[in-house]
Amino acid sequence: MIDFAWDNLFAPRAKLVGGDDLVVRVDLTGKRPLLGDLDTAIANFTKPSDAKPGPLPQFDFKKVTVIGETLSGPVQMLGTIKATGPDSFVVDMNAPAATLGLQGATLQLAGGQLKATVANQQISAHAKLDLAKFEATDMSIADVKIDATLEQLAGVLKGEGSATLGTVAVKDTKLSGAQASAIIESAAIDPAALDLAKLLAGLRKLQLSASTGEGAVGGIAWNTSELTALVEPKGAGKSAGTFSLVVADMKSPQAVAGRVELAGAVEIIEGVAGNAQGTATVKAGLLTATQRKQVVDAIALPLEAALPVFGGAAGRAVDKAATNFDAAIPWSAAFAPASGIDLALLAGSEINAASGLSLKLVPSAGQQKVASLNLSNGGSWLAAGSAELSGGGGPTASLKVASAAGGGKKVAIEGALSLKSWKVGADTLAAEFGGLSFSADESAGKAHG
C-alpha cells in the first residue's frame, strides 16, 4: 500500500508505504548486484541533486522477510519495521541459525536479534549476535558473542554491552579467549544527526574492561593481556579518567619481557582535544641474542679499535645488562586539531639491569621533558638534558645534551661527554669532551669538538 501526498498536482510524493508482508531478496553470492534489479533504481533515486529533498515517507510493514541468496542456499531474517519519521521508528528483526556460503568464505550463524525503538529523543535498543564460525582464505573466527543495550531517556544516554571471542586467526594474527564489557553514559544524542565529537563532549562515564588469552600480532606474541579504563565528567565540556594495559610474557624478534604495563590518566576537552600522561614499565626484559650482538657491536667496536681493553669491558657490561633489566618511562601526549599530536619523554626515565648497570635520563634544570616529538608535517623532535650511565662493570659516564633537534633529514646536536675514572685490570681511563656538535641535512654533515 502506498499513500500519496498531492503537494503538487504534477509531482505527488509517497507519504506512507506499508503492508502486511514485505519480502526483500539480497544477493550475497558476489555474482550479481546486492539488490538485483533494484540496484539501478536505488542508484538513480539517490543521485546527487540541487533540488531540496522532500520528507521521507512513513513505513509500516507488519511482516518483513529478508532472504539472502548465498552459495550454500537461501537464508532469511524475519521481523517488523515501522517508521513515522526520520527520528521515530521501530525495528524488530530476528535471524535464525543458518550457514551462509559467501564468495571465498563460509559463515555459520547461531542466531541474531535486533530490537530498536526511537521516538523523538527517546531510544531503546537491544542487539544480540552469536557467530559460531567464519572461515575464509587465511582467516578463521570462531565463537563470537555480542550483547548490547542502549537507552536514552530524559536527556541521558546509557549503554551497556559485552562481547566474547573464542579464537581468531588472520595470517600473522592470532587471538584466543578474548572478552570485553563496557558501560557508557552521556548527554542525549540526536538519532538523526549522530556526531562522535558531540558524543565525547557530552560523555559522563565510560567504563571499559577487556582481556585476552594467548595472542600474536605482526611478530609480537603474549600470554595474557588486560585493558581497563574509566572516564567520568570533570566540569563543563571536559571528561577525565584513568587507563591501564597489562601484557604478560611478551615476545618479539628483538626482545622478551615478563610484563609490560602502560598506565596513566587522560583528559578529553570538548570531544575534539585532549591530553594524557602516564608511565610505561617493563619487568624482566631481555634482548634476544641477535639484538644484543648488534647493540654490543655498536658500543664496543669503536672503542676496541683504539682501546681494546675498555672496548671489551664495555661490550661485556652491555651484554650482561641486556639479559635481565627493568625499565620505567614516564611519558605525556597531547592532541589538538590545530597542532596535531605531541609526545614527550619525561623526567624519571630509567633502565636498571640485574647486573647493576643503570641508565637514567635527566631533563635540563627546571624542565620536565627530556625529549618531545610532534607528528604533524612529517614529524619533528627536540631534546635536552643528560644520559647518566653507571654500574654493572661499565664506565660512569654522562652525556650532556645542551640542545638537539631534528626533522625530516635534518639533525643538529650540541653537548659534552664526561667519562669518570674507569679502571679495567691494570688500566685506567678518564676523559672530558667539551663543545661537541654535530649537524647534518640531506646533502652534507659536519662535526667538531
What integer pLDDT is reported at residue 387 of this predicted model? 96
Whole-prediction pTM: 0.79
Is the pLDDT at 108 greater than 80? The verdict is yes
Confidence label for 50 from pLDDT (cuts 50, 70 and 90): low
Is the pLDDT at 447 greater than 60? The verdict is no
Helix (H) / strand (E) element for 306: namely: helix 289-306
Q: How many CA atoms lie within 13 A of 51 on its CB side?
A: 6
Query: Could you say which of 68, 97, 114 is where a domain stops?
Result: 114
300 and 444, same domain (yes or no): yes
216 and 281, same domain (yes or no): no
Mean pLDDT of 274-291: 96
* Better-scored residue on pLDDT, 318 or 338: 318
pLDDT digits (tens, 9 = 90+) for 155-182: 888 999 999 999 999 888 899 999 999 9
Q: Where does residue 128 rank: exposed (0-12), middle (13-18), buried (19+ CB within 10 A)?
A: middle
Number of helices (H), then strands (E), belonging to the chain: the values are 4, 29
314 and 448, same domain (yes or no): yes
Confidence label for 56 from pLDDT (cuts 50, 70 and 90): low
377 and 315, same domain (yes or no): yes
89 and 143, same domain (yes or no): no
Look up residue 267 and give its three cell numbers.
583528559
What integer pLDDT is reported at residue 124 of this predicted model? 92
Given a contact cutoff of 8 angstroms between Cβ atoms, the answer to whether 45 and 86 are in contact is no
The neighbouring-strand residues paired with 144 are 131, 165
Confidence label for 39 from pLDDT (cuts 50, 70 and 90): low
Given a contact cutoff of 8 angstroms between Cβ atoms, the answer to whether 25 and 64 are in contact is no
pLDDT digits (tens, 9 = 90+) for 203-212: 778 899 999 9
Confidence label for 61 from pLDDT (cuts 50, 70 and 90): confident
83 and 32, same domain (yes or no): yes
d(CA 29, CA 321): 58
Is the pLDDT at 86 greater than 80? The verdict is no
d(CA 250, CA 224): 9
What integer pLDDT is reported at residue 232 of this predicted model? 87
- What would you measure as the largest C-alpha separation in the chain, in angstroms? 108
Given a contact cutoff of 8 angstroms between Cβ atoms, the answer to whether 316 and 353 are in contact is no
Residue 98's domain comprises 1-114
What integer pLDDT is reported at residue 47 of this predicted model? 62
Q: What's CA 6's distance to the chain center, in Å?
A: 52
56 and 171, same domain (yes or no): no
Residue-by-residue DSSP string for 354-397:
TTS-EEEEEEPTT--EEEEEE-GGG-EEEEEEEEEEE-TTS--E
What integer pLDDT is reported at residue 120 of this predicted model? 74
Mean pLDDT of 113-140: 88
Query: Could you say which of 85, 114, 143 is where a domain stops?
Result: 114
Identity of residue 164: T
d(CA 105, CA 140): 10
Mean pLDDT of 396-422: 93
Residues 6+ apart with CB under 8 A from 211: 177, 178, 179, 180, 224, 225, 226, 227
Identity of residue 338: A
Q: Which of 270, 376, 374, 276 is nearest to 334 (CA)?
A: 276
What integer pLDDT is reported at residue 356 of this predicted model? 97
d(CA 286, CA 323): 4
Estimate the crossing angle of helix 289-306 against helix 308-321, to 10 degrees. Answer: 160
Number of domains present in the structure of the chain: 3
User: Where on the phi/psi map is residue 63: left (φ > 0), alpha (ψ -120 to 50), or beta?
Assistant: beta
Is the pLDDT at 324 greater than 70? The verdict is yes
Is the pLDDT at 49 greater than 70? The verdict is no
212 and 292, same domain (yes or no): no
Q: What's CA 236's distance to the chain center, in Å?
A: 27
Q: Please give the share of the chain, as a percent, with pLDDT higher than 70.
A: 85
Look up residue 363 and give its three cell numbers.
631533563
Query: Could you say which of 266, 284, 309 is where a domain stops?
Result: 266
Given a contact cutoff of 8 angstroms between Cβ atoms, the answer to whether 350 and 330 are in contact is no
280 and 257, same domain (yes or no): no
Cα→Cα distances 13→3, 5, 6, 44, 239, Å: 9, 5, 7, 16, 46
226 and 98, same domain (yes or no): no
Q: Which of 349, 331, 323, 175 is nearest to 255 (CA)?
A: 323
| Poorest-pLDDT segment among 38-47, 103-112, 137-146 | 38-47
pLDDT digits (tens, 9 = 90+) for 327-381: 999 999 999 888 889 999 999 999 999 999 999 999 999 999 999 999 988 889 9
CA R_g for the chain: 31
Residue-by-residue DSSP string for 246-262:
EEEEEE-SSEEEEEEEE
Parallel, antiparallel, or unpaired: how do β-strands 173-187 and 156-170 relate?
Answer: antiparallel
Confidence label for 305 from pLDDT (cuts 50, 70 and 90): confident
Q: How many CB atoms lie within 10 A of CB 272?
A: 14
pLDDT digits (tens, 9 = 90+) for 234-257: 877 788 999 999 999 999 999 999
446 and 365, same domain (yes or no): yes
Mean pLDDT of 411-431: 93
320 and 422, same domain (yes or no): yes
Is the pLDDT at 119 greater than 90? The verdict is no
